Each structure stands twice: as structure tokens, then as C-alpha cells.
Chains A and B, each alone.
Chain A
Amino acid sequence: MGAVAAPKTATAGPRDAPAPKRRRRGLSFEGRLMAPALTVLALLSIFPFLYIVALSFSRVGLLGGISLEWAAFDNWTRLFSDGAVGASWLRSVVYFVATVGLEMFLGVGIALLLHEIVRGRNVLLSALLMPMFMAPVIVGLLGRFLTDSTYGLYAWVLRETGIYTGEILGGTTAAFVAVTLMDVWQWTPLITLIVLAGLASMPKSVIEASSIDGANYWSRLRHIVLPLISGVLIVALLIRSMDAIRYFDIITNTTNGGPADATKTIPIRLYETGFRFFDLGYAAAIGLSMLAVSIILANVFMNQLKRRGLAK
């Protein structure tokens, strides 16, 4: 923790009377409260950021300590001409749209269902939330267990019902669908939770009025409910989106990018470039491009919050 003024205030205790006049121009009370956290955060974010920028312009030697050698724009020109990385971006976009899309669709649906019931809602909600507290690595390993063609429960069900008889994690489409569904299984509950909160906060009078009008369920849903919770939906979408590009544990622990690169999303490729091939300079360039995308998303998120008056 940085040696900043705030901790002193903290330990000075309640007897300390305010003496604003004697204090020289310096940090305000709020500033002193923020100082330690922001100092730590600066150390943890700004320095690594500068370093990754430096890496991206270097050839990085590894043995006998890290050494940087100026490589100008080599890594960057390679990034923009590398078909494999381009393919990974494309795959990431598809993966992203598939997971987040399905999660939104199912999450909203499940929230609407839960909203319909009164008795047992909380118990059921608790049960449905469980996956999102699980370590993604466990989700991946469990997914592998369930889809194993020799003894997996789900593989057996699919085989017996004739829906899919091949090796689930061995087919390009099947493997992609499988890792998508594992992510959907884990994170749909998050959307459900958020949307349910939005549904609960809808003004009752509006709903009742529309129901007297005789509007049927679907038209009420479309014209009244969804517009009412649109702010919440946007929040849910953005929160999930930002996390969706952060994590890659599930794929790492199931297919690790295969088969035929069908699940090699951009974080997997970045990790492989950095920590399997130890081409740290090139990995840094890939990493920065990912960072740019996530900053754009964060920007959209902030703007949406501000526009809807949700920013605190």
C-alpha cells in the first residue's frame, strides 16, 4: 500500500476534529480515502500496460532473464497479416454472439417464467443460480466428463436418443456447440438474476392497467414489459459481454482450441502464443488488440449507464 495520507486519517480515530483551515492545500477528505486504493490500482494497471506496449514492439528473449530487443512494428504488421489470428477473431465473434445471445434469450425466458410463480420462487432461483458460483475450470472438466463418448452421461443420452452418435468434443461443430453450451449453462443464471430484478421493479399499476385492456401475454410482453426493463437488459448484456471475452478456462480445459481449430478463440491463441511458443512480443500485440476491444465495450457500457441515469 502506498504511503499516502489516508491511512493516517484512518488510524487517527474519531477524536480527530476537522481542521480544514490549518490544512494546507492538499488532498480533500475524499481524495485521501481514494488515494491508497488508486495508488495500488495504478501500480497494478498502468505499469503493466506500459510494459505490454513495450513488449509488443520487441523481440523478447527468455532464457537467462527477460530481454527486450527493439523490433519496430514487426509484431504489429504480423498481427494484421496473420490469417490464423484473423480466423481466431472470427471464431471469437461467433462464440461471443452464440454464448451471449443464447444466455440473453434463455436468461430472459427463465426470468419471465420465475416471475410467473410466487410460491417457491426463491428456492428455485437459488437452485438455478448455482452454476455461476462454480470455478470455470471445474465446469470445463465436468463438461468433459459428461460428453466423453465412452462413459459420458450426456454422450450416452444423445447416443441412445439418436440425436448425436459421434465423439462430441471431436467434431468441429459438435465441439463448438458443446463448449458454447457449457458457457451457457454456467452464465445464463446471471442474466436470469439481473432480469428478474428488473421485472420485480416494474410498477404494478402499469401492468394491471394493460391487463384490464385485455392485451394478451405476448403483446404485453412486447409492448410493455420489455420496454420497461430495456435498461436492465442492456446492463445484463454488457456485463456478460465484458466477462465473456475475459475468461477462457472452459475451452482450455476441454478442447484447448481443437478440433481443427474450431474452438481456438482469440484468448486461447494469445495464451498459446505467449506461454507455449513463448513469443511474448507477438502475444503482447494480440493482447493489446483484445484490450482495445474490451475498452470499447467498457466505453459503451459507461455511456449506456449515463444515458439511462444508472451511473452512480
Chain B
Amino acid sequence: MRPIRNQPSTLGLASGTAGMLARKGSSQVSGEESQMSGEGGALTRREMLGMLGAGGAALALGGCGGSGGARVDESAPEWRRYAGTTLNFISENTAPTAAIVANLAPFKQLTGIDVRVVQLELAALVQKVALDFAGGEGAYQVIYADPYQILAPYADALADLRQFADDDKLPGLEDPNDFFPTQMDAAGRFVDERVLALPYDAPTMIWMYRTDLFDKHAERMEQDLGFDPRPSADSTWEQFYATSKWFRDESDDVPFGHGNMAKQHDSLMNDFSNLLWAYGGDYFEDGQKVGRIGVTEPGEPLLDSPEALEAADVYRRLVEIGNPGSVGWDWTGLAEGFMAGGMAMAPLWHEFAASIEDSDIKGKVGYAPLPKGPKRRACMYGGCGIGINGTAPKAEQEAAWLFVNWATSPDIQLSNLKSETGGGTPTRASVYRVPEVKRARQPPSDLPNVLTTNAVFEAWLPENIGLRPKIAAWNECDTTMFTQLSKMLAGQQDPERTMREAKRGFVRAIDTAASLARA
């Protein structure tokens, strides 16, 4: 990321961290969020044309499109040009999409476009999207682009959104600097300057704990353990471990201290990565860049470093004393276990707050950033952007822009937050400054996800955010990682062998992906 001065672009197109899609100039983010805002920048016309050319080539690669159902009315106002079109939005079945589905009427009213939403489990979604790209169908114009499993491996099949933001016939983007810079990069970009998706949701792993139980036992625990067990800025994973053990052995309120999402599933990689980073390990050299922007040639995996081995060992010990259900739970299972009273605390995606505050343990849960390790605090970021299928016909892509633009706008992010049928957490900083949202940070809250705000703001700081590698081979690397970890947890291999095998798998996956990319 090269630092560029924050300056409105003459072309109405800016480059840089958050300013890449700036059109009406960039506005400064104020308040406590300002520390997270990055630098905007300018881009010359030539640079931009070159990039659009590249984007165009990627589009041409897409070959013939699908049936092509877009209607264009050239004379209509910018939001109405595609009235009568039907768009397909393929998404992971997440809370924000549930809220969008329940709230499609205003979009139809605004644009005259019908949106059909197909919601799938993440693995199924990834497969379906890849098949759609490979099929050249362009059947799904709007795509929930998981940065690691979709955006990185299939970057060339996604449309560069700058072409739409910069198109005078189409509505521009409302204040692009309002997106959090880390999210804009992590969810929206791959390797180069192209913007392939806009931040749409932002699940991040935080520490959820039962305040009722911690308060009840605080004194005894402090005596027994020698530290205040309640999550603080200084809490460490070692303390987390000791606290969990204490709950298991000393308290009758819950059968176990904590749980993990340690099923042989993507969730296991997420859960482990927090420790990997906290203990000073990483997947690749220059991990934060590999995670934030992505690379085409990541180099040698670092998974057999002493720090990584230690992290694996700590993770193994941690799962051992946790709820034995852990090894069968993905994030859903873990959240259900937590809500059913199976443990006193858990590292979980913060978006589960909405379900939790609607369950038997509502009002009894506190939210904090994950503990620190010897090296740092790392909270896995799992946010995704929504992007546009570059293999779809051009007019459908333009219609899709209206939806992408609308769904990520501050107004809609706010109404999603308030939605009764779901709702994630806003990816727009300004939403957190709305008075009623500010008020909702303290319990009792009508907007339960906002209760996690302090925790996630801390988690989203560049030094705390956990970003897994954004590389084309990630799907296979991810599978390798959680498979090897699962074998370790099943007692089939020690941490050293686990990480060595994982490294071997990474190398092979990267080789294969490279050879396929050349094909």
C-alpha cells in the first residue's frame, strides 16, 4: 500500500486505501473511528485507462454471457435506467443477507429492478460461484465474494467496480472513505488497484463471556488464579486457558469453561489462526500484506516455524480442556452450545450477538477483543464484500452496480442493523455515529450487534485484525490446514507433524494452483 496524499481526483476517481472509489471527493472520518481511516489518493487518467483496459480484458475472457435479461432505458434517471431487469444475488446465508431479503421492496421502488436471492452455506456458495464463473453463464450477477475463497482465486472473473463508480450514467458511490480502510482492502481488493467488491458484512472473532458467571466468581477466581479473570486489555491466552480450566473444575454453573469451533471445517482454520498470530507465527512472510491486499506468489509457507509449532501446541491443549463438543462444532454448533449453557466463554464471530441476545442467556454476555499472545492480539476478520460477475452481460453488470451500491450504502447498512430478521454489523463508519446506534452500545440494547462495537473496533485496528492469506490457492490451503489440525485434535499426530504436513500441503496447493493458472 503506497501512501498517497488524500486529495480529490479530477477524474472523480481516487486511488489509495479508502479513497479508491471516491467520486465527490473524500471526507474525513471523524471521532474515534478516525484512527482507522487511511489515506486517499489520486490517479492519472492514463493509469486509470490502463487499469480499465485490464479489467476489460478480464471481461472479454468471460466469453459469452447468459441469457441476458437486462433492460436499459437510456433516457431514465440514473437509478431508474434498468427498471424491469431481474438480478440474481448469490450469497452466503448470513444475517445481513436475511435482512436484505426482508428489505428488498425499497430497492424495487427505487430502481424497478427485481432481485432474487439465492442463499447457500459457505462451501456450497464457493462451489456454485466457481461453477458459474467456469460455466461462463453469468447467471448470478451479484456475488457475495468471500475475499479468500472467491475473490482471490477468481479475481479475474469479477468486474472492476471503478468502471461503474466512474460512469456518469450510473450513480456514484456515497462517500467511499466511509468504509473502514482495512475492510476496504481486505474485502475489496486482490493484488492490484482494482476494486472487486465493496465491504458488505464484517464478522470478526471476539471473546464472548458470561458476565453473570464471571461476576459471581470473580473474587474466588482471582484468589485461585492470581489474576482478575475478567477480559481486559491485558488478558492473555494463557489466562484464558487457566480461566477455562477453573470453570471446568471449580464451578457447577457450566460443565466447561470454553468451547471451540474445531470441526474439520473452515471454522477450525479461523479459530486456530487467532493463536497462530498471537504466538508470533504466520502463514507467509509479510503476513499482514498477504492478508490485506493479497499476493500472487506468496513464497514459502512459514508453518513450521517454532512460533507456529507453539501455537499449534497451545491450541491443542486449549481444545483438550474445552467442551468436548468442540471437535464436532463449526461456528453454528459452537454458538448453539454457548447459548445452551455448555460453557462460560467462547471465541466467536461477533455477529452471533444478535442470536445470543435473543436466547436464554440474553443480557448475560459480555463482548471483548480476543486475548493477547506473546506477540500480539489477533482477531480473525471474516468480512466479505459483494461484487459483480464479470461474465454477465454488460447491461446486467450495470444494473448489478445499482444493487451493490445500494446494499452497501450507509442508509441500508443502518436499516439492516435495525432489521428484525437478521442484520449484520455496518461496514460504514458513519452508521456507528448515528445517535440511536451510539446509545445501543450499552445494554439493554435494541440493536444487539452494536453491543459488540467496542470489541470489534479494537479488533479492526490494523495491529489487531487477523487477516488470513489472500492467495489463489487458498481453498486447498484452507482445507489442508483444517484437515491437519483436525488430525492433531483427534490425537493422530503431534503439533510438529501437523504443521509440517500442513506446510507440505500448502506448497503442493500453491504449485497446483500456479500450474492451473498457466493452463
Contact = CB atoms under 8 A, between A and B. Distances in A.
A, B in one complex? yes
Interface of A: 58-69, 148-151, 165-172, 175, 255-262, 272, 275-279, 282
A272 B482 CA distance: 14
Contact of A276 (B123, B264, B490, B492): B123
A170 B326 contact: yes
Contacts of A259: 263-264, 327-328, 486, 489-490
Chain B residues touching A, range: 35 or more
Closest 8 CB pairs of A and B: A258-B264, A170-B328, A64-B61, A167-B328, A170-B327, A260-B490, A61-B519, A59-B519
A73 to B, nearest CB: 15
A149 B512 contact: no
Contact of B154 (A63, A149, A175, A258): A63
Interface stretch (B69-77, B128-136, B306-314, B381-389): B128-136
Given A62-B133, A171-B328, 12 more contacts: A69-B518, A69-B519, A149-B325, A149-B328, A150-B342, A165-B324, A167-B327, A169-B263, A256-B265, A259-B264, A261-B264, A278-B134
Contacts of A62: 130, 133-134, 516
A172 B328 CA distance: 10
Interface of B: 61-63, 123, 126-127, 130-131, 133-134, 136, 153-154, 156-157, 262-265, 324-329, 333, 336-337, 340, 342, 475-476, 479, 483, 486-487, 489-490, 492, 509, 512, 515-519
Given A69-B519, A151-B340, A260-B487, A63 B324 contact: no
Contacts of B519: 58-61, 67-69
Contact of A257 (B157, B262, B264): B264
Nearest to B342: A150
A81 to B, nearest CB: 12
B136 A64 contact: yes
Nearest to B337: A150
9 contacts: A64-B62, A67-B519, A150-B336, A169-B263, A170-B327, A256-B265, A260-B489, A260-B490, A275-B127
Contacts, number: 126
Contacts of B126: 276
A170 B325 contact: yes
Chain B at the A interface: SS class = helix
A258 B489 CA distance: 12
A159 B263 CA distance: 20
A277 B476 contact: yes
Contacts of A277: 475-476, 479, 509, 512
A260 B340 CA distance: 26
B333 A148 contact: yes
B264 A260 contact: yes
A149 B325 CA distance: 7
B342 to A, nearest CB: 7
Contacts of A150: 325, 333, 336-337, 340, 342
Contacts of A65: 61, 63, 136
A234 to B, nearest CB: 37
A276 B326 contact: no
A172 B123 CA distance: 22
Nearest to B517: A61
Contacts of B476: 276-277, 279
Contacts of B486: 258-261
B519 to A, nearest CB: 4
A252 to B, nearest CB: 10
Contacts of A169: 263, 328
* Residue of A148, A151, A167 most packed against chain B (CB within 10 A): A167
A166 B264 contact: no
B490 A61 contact: no
A69 B516 CA distance: 9
B88 to A, nearest CB: 20
Contacts of B509: 277
A251 B406 CA distance: 39
Nearest to B487: A260
Contacts of B492: 172, 260
A235 to B, nearest CB: 37
B475 A255 contact: no
A272 to B, nearest CB: 7
Contact of A166 (B62, B265, B324, B483): B324
B487 A261 contact: yes
Contacts of A276: 123, 126-127, 475-476, 479
Contacts of B333: 148, 150
Contacts of A66: 134
A86 B6 CA distance: 56
Nearest to A82: B508
B340 A275 contact: no
A246 to B, nearest CB: 20
Contacts of A171: 327-328, 490
A262 B489 CA distance: 12
A278 B325 contact: no
B385 to A, nearest CB: 19
B218 to A, nearest CB: 27
A64 B516 contact: no
A275 B124 CA distance: 10
A169 B490 CA distance: 12
A170 B324 contact: yes
